[in-house]
A = this chain, B = another copy of it.
């Protein structure tokens, strides 16, 4: 049995199975609670409010849908909460004009007479031109088929819902009377792993609600490549993947509609951002050639699609607009992020970087932009690593190693016994193992005698927690292959950055700002990342976190026509650097397979 838990004032919701305690549920929602006793129910620090009563989150099991309020002093610490500045419309607009993509216009038409017997539709269009200066608005059969009765129902008072799509405007609804309802829009981030939706009030640009869940396509592969392969096996498979993401999206939309007493027709536009593969799958377009040299997307700049053509739970005559992609591995999510962070409108050079399974990055300023994607592999997401896991309760996220005896002190998400290591933890462990001399600069284990170091099947491993200390009765370890995997991942990302710098003949010092986007980014310890050579060794204050910039960019596109008009020019402005051929990437990659790097002069503060 599954239940929905909504946390306030964060207004975040998660779905968990019966019996899950509220502390774990909060953790799943990205909210960490204080807990000195490790969930034993003795310290009393994880107090939350349920139906007006104060309860201990760690001792309260979910047995129905619940709304929980979390007091400030029960929260662990600010940096653990997913950074989310999206509620601030001004912040989202980032200097662009507030000019939403959908408007609802109240019109009062003059009544027809024998002398003024123009058709109902002409009468409406004329008034639209007169009163709102809207010319040549398109309209589809479905929206004028019933115009006669609608005009007469409230004595020629009507409300017209008008969508502005750059080169044309379209009437997507005509209602009798003067409606007071605002127009609504949906911002959608289609991630390989998660799907996030915001419901936006387009009269003021505010987020009315937000929901997220896992992308159920994951059952057919964790990364885009395995999904492309699955989709390519048959037309049915492709259709199945499309249906999964659309059904999930619809489920989230319907949930929000219900909560706010809205109907699907109230939503006239959805702006979606996703990587190129996700975008193809969402539309049901075969992603086959994305993974075959020379890596060609079927489509990058996407024409608006009618909601009815994708069966999205909104006004069937409304539109779904996808952020344009740049290339096979630099998608609409990156363009969306680049747009909302404004890296294309600054004199200073910015590095925008989104590290997930792939590391996608953009370098440049108002005059030029370079972009590339490097296959970082899933190790930063905790996959392909002996005890890797996502940043949830029980994940080791920081360590301190005593170089004398190799003893270790762990920081575990949720302050519970550890059950694995998350991405930021792995980066920290790698940095500390190197510092403590457990591994050398190539990632090879040094020949040390210590109770925490052992060799299993010929491979050395370092024990972070013995099974007696762990939360799952198993040793938590980092093996030599884990270390090698992590070094390959960090090497790929760093080599990507260096390749872009090479291409434009700049060096690290020329970078004024580094923007870290994506879920992983929020938990990243910059110092660790620099110490292992993942990120450039530049002043730490140049680093900024932006959260889910893909979703934020979709929000921006809904509330500023001017901003979204820049999306395609922005995508076209980005020079795509294909790392697999004809450039310095391979050399850079090989040089980066050291901790932090073969060339220590690149990492002066580490050296």
- A interface residue numbers (CB < 8 A to B): 112-114, 117-122, 136, 138-142, 144-149, 152, 167, 283-286, 288-289, 293-301, 303, 305-306, 309-310, 325, 327-328, 576, 578, 580-582
Contact = CB atoms under 8 A, between A and B. Distances in A.
Contacts of A286: 145-146, 148-149
Contact of A140 (B145, B167, B285, B309): B309
Contacts of A147: 285, 298-299
A374 to B, nearest CB: 16
26 contacts: A112-B294, A112-B296, A114-B293, A114-B294, A114-B578, A114-B580, A114-B581, A117-B295, A117-B327, A118-B296, A119-B296, A119-B298, A119-B300, A120-B297, A120-B299, A121-B300, A121-B301, A122-B300, A140-B303, A141-B283, A141-B303, A141-B305, A144-B285, A146-B285, A148-B296, A152-B289
Contacts of A136: 167
Contacts of A112: 294, 296
Given A117-B327, A288-B148, A122 B301 contact: yes
B578 A117 contact: yes
Nearest to A309: B141
Contacts of A580: 114
Given A114-B581, A303-B140, A297 B119 contact: yes
B289 A148 contact: yes
Contacts of A149: 286, 288
Which among A114, A295, A298, A301 has the highest number of chain B CB atoms within 10 Å? A298
Given A167-B136, A286-B149, A299 B144 contact: yes
A302 to B, nearest CB: 9
Given A119-B297, A145-B283, 4 more contacts: A112-B296, A117-B296, A121-B300, A139-B303
Contact of A113 (B145, B294, B576): B294
Nearest to A299: B121
- Contact residues of A: prevailing secondary structure: loop
Given A283-B141, A298-B148, A120 B303 contact: no
A120 B283 contact: no
A127 to B, nearest CB: 15
A138 B303 contact: yes
Nearest to A136: B167
Nearest to A170: B303
CB-CB nearest 3 A-B residue pairs: A119-B300, A121-B299, A119-B297
A125 to B, nearest CB: 9
A303 B578 CA distance: 45
Nearest to A168: B168
Contacts of A578: 114, 117
Contacts of A142: 309
Contacts of A299: 119-122, 144, 147
Nearest to A149: B286
A303 B122 CA distance: 11
A239 B453 CA distance: 79
Which among A114, A119, A136, A167 has the highest number of chain B CB atoms within 10 Å? A119
Contacts of A297: 119-120
Contacts of A284: 141, 145
A322 to B, nearest CB: 10
Nearest to A139: B303
Which among A117, A305, A327, A580 has the highest number of chain B CB atoms within 10 Å? A117
A97 to B, nearest CB: 25
A142 B327 CA distance: 22
A243 to B, nearest CB: 14
A117 B288 contact: no
Contacts of A581: 114
A431 to B, nearest CB: 36
A306 B317 CA distance: 13
B294 A120 contact: no
A304 to B, nearest CB: 9
Nearest to A235: B146
Contacts of A117: 294-296, 327-328, 576, 578
Nearest to A125: B301
Contacts of A298: 119-121, 144, 147-148
Contacts of A141: 283-284, 303, 305-306, 309-310
A145 B285 contact: yes
Contacts of A309: 140-142
Nearest to A287: B148
A503 to B, nearest CB: 14
